[in-house]
């Protein structure tokens, strides 16, 4: 059994969607026998305490992302490197990429694939997946429950769900990419050019680093 830590703070429309779908994914992970901890009100302090207490094998961060950092609740930067982060509009005073040493990491947020993902790998993370540019999805409302958003989140969460089933990080990434392609093809077939465009955008902006043969049990 592995331990999975998910940070997801439903504080605005985009993060409410992330929280809704990550909660659904967490139930699947738990069914596979893994211990799942969800930080709904993540601050730097309780994020660090949770890492120390549970020592998770997989960390999934959903929040607002910049090239240098990822936020939890409010403007709390949970993970980052010392620098001005232009996308977040904050100066990060403390860096902590070493907190991900020995872990699998999914930065399910915008922009973190530009630099932060590299820094996590260089600081000892086993494998990292992230998005270089904004993760864009379509939505009908602000609740997270609508058919427009579903394909984007269903595809994006194939990675942790595959990991939960015993597959490798690389196999999870491949399943994610294939899901985006499947939904893109379906959107193109019914003439929905906008959905197809953004599904393709998200797929192309996913980047991965590290050991693609790693598993949750390794």
Per-residue pLDDT tens digits for 59-89: 999 999 999 999 999 888 999 999 999 999 9
Query: Mean pLDDT score of the chain, rounded to an integer?
Result: 95
Q: Is residue 173 part of a domain?
A: yes
Q: For 8-22, how does the pLDDT look when each residue is reduced to its tens digit (9 = 90+)?
A: 999 998 899 999 999
Number of domains the chain contains: 1
E strand map for 108-146: 127-131
The answer on pLDDT for 130 being more than 90 is yes
Domain extent for 149? 3-132+144-210
Q: Is residue 25 part of a domain?
A: yes
- Longest CA–CA separation in the chain, Å: 50
User: Residue 149: which CATH number?
Assistant: 3.40.50
Q: Is residue 218 part of a domain?
A: no
15: number of Cβ within 10 Å: 21
Q: Is residue 85 part of a domain?
A: yes
How far is CA 44 from its chain centroid? 17
Q: What per-residue confidence (pLDDT) applies to 143?
A: 55
Q: Is residue 138 part of a domain?
A: no
At 84 the three-state DSSP class reads: strand
Pick from 144, 84, 146, 85: which is nearest to 110 by CA?
Answer: 85
The answer on pLDDT for 138 being more than 70 is yes
Q: Is residue 137 part of a domain?
A: no
Q: Is residue 139 part of a domain?
A: no
Tokens standing for 47?
């994020």
CB 7 within 8 A of CB 60: yes
Which residues on neighbouring strands pair with residue 85, listed in sequence order? Answer: 90
Q: Is residue 87 part of a domain?
A: yes
Helix, strand counts (H, E) of the chain: 7, 10
At 146 the three-state DSSP class reads: coil
First to last CA, the chain: 11
Q: Which residues does 52 contact at the CB level (< 8 Å), separation at least 6?
A: none
């Amino acid at each position: 059994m592995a331990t999975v830590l998910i940070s997801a703070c439903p504080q605005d429309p985009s993060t409410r969607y992330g929280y809704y779908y990550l909660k659904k994914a967490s139930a699947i992970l738990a069914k596979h026998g893994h211990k799942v901890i969800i930080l709904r009100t993540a601050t730097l302090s309780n994020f660090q305490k949770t890492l120390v207490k549970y020592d998770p094998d997989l960390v999934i961060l959903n929040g607002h992302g910049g090239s240098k950092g990822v936020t939890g609740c409010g403007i709390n930067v949970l993970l980052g490197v010392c620098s001005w982060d232009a996308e977040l509009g904050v100066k990060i005073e403390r860096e902590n990429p070493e907190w991900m040493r020995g872990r699998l990491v999914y930065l399910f947020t915008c922009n973190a694939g530009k630099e932060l993902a590299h820094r996590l790998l260089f600081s000892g993370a086993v494998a990292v997946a992230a998005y270089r540019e904004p993760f864009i999805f379509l939505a009908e409302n602000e609740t997270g429950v609508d058919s427009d958003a579903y394909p984007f989140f269903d595809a994006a969460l194939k990675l942790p769900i595959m990991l939960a089933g015993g597959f490798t990080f690389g196999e999870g990434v491949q399943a994610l990419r294939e899901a985006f392609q499947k939904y893109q093809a379906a959107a193109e077939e019914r003439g929905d050019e906008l959905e197809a465009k953004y599904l393709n955008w998200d797929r192309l902006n996913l980047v991965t680093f590290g050991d693609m043969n790693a598993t949750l049990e390794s």
